[in-house]
Each structure stands twice: as C-alpha cells, then as structure tokens.
A and B are shown apart, each in its own frame.
Chain A
Amino acid sequence: MIWDWDYALAVLPKLLDALIVTVQAALAGFAIALVLGLMIALARRSGKLWLSIPVGAIAEFIRSTPLLVQLYFLFFVMPGFGVQTTPFITGVIGLGLHYATYTAEVYRAGLDAVPRGQWEAAWALDFSPLHTFRSIILPQALPPIVPVLGNYLIAIFKDTPLLSAITVLEMMQVAKIEGSETFQYLEPLTIVGLLFLIVSLISAVLIGRLENHLGALRRI
C-alpha cells in the first residue's frame, strides 16, 4: 500500500486550516463579483455608447483570457503603480474581477427577463428611474438568477487553487509545500481533491434546494 495513513492524518489539520483561507478567498471574491457584475451589466445596458462599448469590450477581454495570467498581472504590476497589498487581497481582486464578467451576463439575462411593461407601468406612475429599478425591477429580476449566481460561487471556489501561483497559502499551496518537504505528494493532493469534491457536492445540493424553494415561492 502506497497510501500512508499516519502521514495523511498528520497533514489533514493543516489542510483544513487552509480550507478556511480558501473559503474566505472564494466568498470575498464572490462578493466583489456580485457588486462589480451588476455595475458592468448596468453600464452595458445604459444606452450610453461611450460607457457601454468600452465596458463591454473590457469585460469580453477579461472573460476570454486566463485568470492565472490576470493574477500574475495584478501581482507583479500593482506594486509598480504603488499599490501595496497582500497576495491574498490581490487574489481576491483577481477572482472578483474575472467572475464579475460572468455574473454580469447572469444579471443581464435576469434583467432582460423582466417584461417591458413593468418599466412602462412604473413610468406611468411617475416613479423615478432609480426607484423603479430598485423597488420594481430588481426584486423581479433577482430571484430567478440566485441559483445561477450560486453556481458561480462554486466555480470561484474551484478556481481558488490558482491563488497558490501567487503564493497565497490556500489548500493547494499548503499541499504542495507539505508534499515537497516529504516527497509524498499523494496524500495531501488526494485530500485536497476530496475536500473540493465534498464542499462542491454539498454546495450543489444546497443550491438545488434553494432553486426548488425559490420555484415554490414563485408558484404561490
């Protein structure tokens, strides 16, 4: 048997500690993606060409290029512009920026699904555009897209190992350090894989429940 249980049990606590860093990075990145994504979506459908075209092009560019290279870019270039941060914050910004271009598409689909008549009815009642958007449109656009956004949280979570490339001590980095010290990569890498699988599957089940729940709410 190649598998070393003693060693596996010895590295497990360290990996679980690193799992917390991983989850923190995923949640923080997701928070940025949620806010920035909405801003991108609004800029793209603003109707002002000087805003919608460049924002659309930049979003398209970010979405079509690798997160890893974007992370390097931020990691090496930001200090050059005098921005001093930790690798963790750089990683979170990278994740958030990259996935904002995905959530923007989700918001766009959600907003497009709200019937035009809702805007017209609000205008007829003399609501201000901001009030219309916040109280009439968003409450209708958001519930259907919540599960889709949830899936992107899982996607971000699964991309956090990339932060190891910019020295963030998340699970992958810890596993690699452990492995390189003992030359036993099998146990830490397998445990990391299993932890990812467990967290992803549990999250997928939770999102499925949420989807059913929201579906049930809408049917009432």
Chain B
Amino acid sequence: MFLPIEFYGNLLQGALITIQITAMAGLLAAICALVAGLARMSPWRVVRGIAVTYIEFFRGTSALVQLFWLFYALPLFGLSLSPMTVAVIGLGLHIGAYGAEVVRSAVLAIPRGQHEAALALNMPPALAMRRVILPQAVVAMLPPFNNLMIELLKATALVSLITITDLTFQGQLLNTATLKTAPIFLAVLVFYFLIALGITSVFRTLERRLSVGRLKGMAR
C-alpha cells in the first residue's frame, strides 16, 4: 500500500510547483480581494458596478472554465500567456472574487463608533480606512482567508490539465509509468494535506501576531 521511496522525489518536485503557484496566485488574490472589496463599497456607482461585475463573473463561472478559456481562447486574441501565467492569473482572479466578499463583510463589521471617532479627529476617509478601519478588519479577515487559501491550494490541482507539472500531474505521470495507482494518489493527497496544514499554521501565527494587546481581556 505504501509508495516506494524512489518516487517521492518526483512528487516533491511537483509539490514545489504547487506551492509556488499557490503563493503567487494567493498574493494576486489578496490584492484583487482588497481592491474589489473596497471598490464594492465605493460612493461612485461606476466603480461599484465594475467591482460587482468582476465578483459575480468570477464567482459565477467555474475555475476550470476560466483556466481553459485563458489557455485555449485567449491566444486567438493574439495574447499567448505561458501556462504558469495563466495558472496564476486565472486562480488569483478566481479566489480574489471570493476574497472581495470577505474583505467587504470584515470592513462592514467594524463598529460605527470607529468611523465616527476617526471623523471627529478630522481624518479624511482614505486615512481613516487605512489606519483605523482596515487594520482592525484584517484580523477578522484572517480565518476566512485561511479557508480561501486552502480552496486555492485545492484549485491548483486544475493546472495539471493545462500542462503544468504540479503535484497532481506528477502523480498522474507516476501512475501511467508504474500503475501503482492507490499508493501514488494516496501519497499525492497526503502531500496536499501537509501543505494545507502548513498554510493553516502560517495563518494561525499571523492571527496571534496581529491581535497583540487586543485580546488580553479587561485586565485592570
């Protein structure tokens, strides 16, 4: 049932690609989420409209359809991206659309008194958002973002279908070569699970760091 040791090198290679794509797409997703989430609450209707269109479009269609479209259809418009670029952009935009809703609800959850205190101190809206509202909202965003990063990790398996030799692709190669199907795919799944645990522990650390002083209770 266990996979012979000599195959782990290939899986590890694939895992590194998977981690790389997860990290880069995760960064893009975080940026998209922040921009679209804030734009969604903009006082200007056009900005809100663009944000809603982006969010609904990428949440309404499937990640695989988006990847295939970027991979097969975009070159017809004269724009040929490398598979790696397609993977990062496609998955980043996809997860970013979900993240935008996380950003929005975390910002809306900040009590009104914080906005009022910032206004009473004559802070312009952008300053209040940057220094008062967002730093508090980020703490509330971390647990849902942790879940989204795991969704992203799982979605990176799709890039094996656009010729990237990630963890899943390596598993398939080994499967074709050796036909030791059960141990190979089990090992692949365990690799993904370990990466997921790693992501969660990073977020736990971030949460601890960012909530310094705030959760010490009402010590007098």
Residues of A at the B interface (CB closer than 8 Å) are 2, 61, 64-70, 72-73, 76-77, 80, 158-162, 164-165, 172, 175-176, 179, 185-186, 189-190, 192-193, 196-197, 200-201, 204
Structural contact, A73 and B189, CB atoms closer than 8 A: yes
B196 with A64: CB separation less than 8 A: yes
Shortest beta-carbon contacts, A-B, top 8: A66-B157, A185-B72, A64-B196, A200-B60, A73-B185, A76-B181, A68-B157, A158-B62
Judge if B204 is at the interface, Cβ distance under 8 Å. Answer: no
Which residues of the other chain, B, contact A196 by a CB distance below 8 angstroms? 60-62, 65
Give Cα distance in the complex from A67 to B185, angstroms: 12
B60 surroundings in chain A (CB, below 8 A): 196-197, 200-201, 204
Chain A residues, CB < 8 A from B153: 64, 66
Residues of A within 8 A of B7 (CB): none
Q: Which of A64, A66, A196 lies at the interface centre, i.e. has the most chain B CB atoms within 10 A of its CB?
A: A66
Query: Which residues of chain A have C-beta atoms less than 8 A from B69's C-beta?
Result: 189-190, 193
Using a CB-CB cutoff of 8 Å, which residues 28-65 of chain B contact chain A? 56-57, 59-65
Q: Would B77 and A2 count as touching, CB distance under 8 A?
A: yes
Q: A66-B192, A162-B158 are in contact. List 11 more A-B contacts (CB 8 A).
A: A2-B77, A64-B150, A64-B193, A70-B189, A72-B172, A76-B175, A161-B65, A176-B68, A186-B72, A189-B68, A190-B73
Complex partner residue of A80 from B64, B68, B150, B181, CB under 8 angstroms: B181
Q: Within residues 166 to 199 of chain B, which ones have a CB less than 8 A from any CB in chain A? A: 168, 171-172, 175, 181-182, 185-186, 188-189, 192-193, 196-197
Chain A: minimal CB distance from B105 (Å):
15
C-alpha spacing A172/B192, complex, angstroms: 25
Q: Which one of A64, A80, A161, A190 has the highest number of Cβ atoms from chain B below 10 Å of its Cβ?
A: A64
- Provide the bound-state CA to CA distance between A117 and B182, in Å: 48
Residues in B neighbouring A73, C-beta threshold 8 A = 181-182, 185-186, 189
Main secondary structure of the interface of B (DSSP, over half): helix
Closest-by-CB residue of A relative to B73 is A186
**Do B189 and A69 touch (CB < 8 A)?**
yes
Is B154 close to A, CB under 8 A?
Answer: yes
Cβ–Cβ < 8 Å partners of A67 in chain B: 154, 157
- Residue in B closest to A158 when the chains form the complex, CB atoms: B62
User: Complex formed: what's the CA distance from A175 to B62 in Å?
Assistant: 14
A61 to B195, CA, bound (A): 12
Query: Chain A's nearest CB lies how many Å from the CB of B12?
Result: 16
Q: A65, A68, A161, A186: which contacts B62 (Cβ < 8 A)?
A: A161
Chain A residues with CB under 8 Å of B160's CB are 68
Residues of B near A2 (CB, < 8 A) are 76-77
Minimum Cβ distance to chain B for residue A197 (Å): 4
Segment 70-85 of B: residues with Cβ below 8 Å from A: 72-73, 76-77
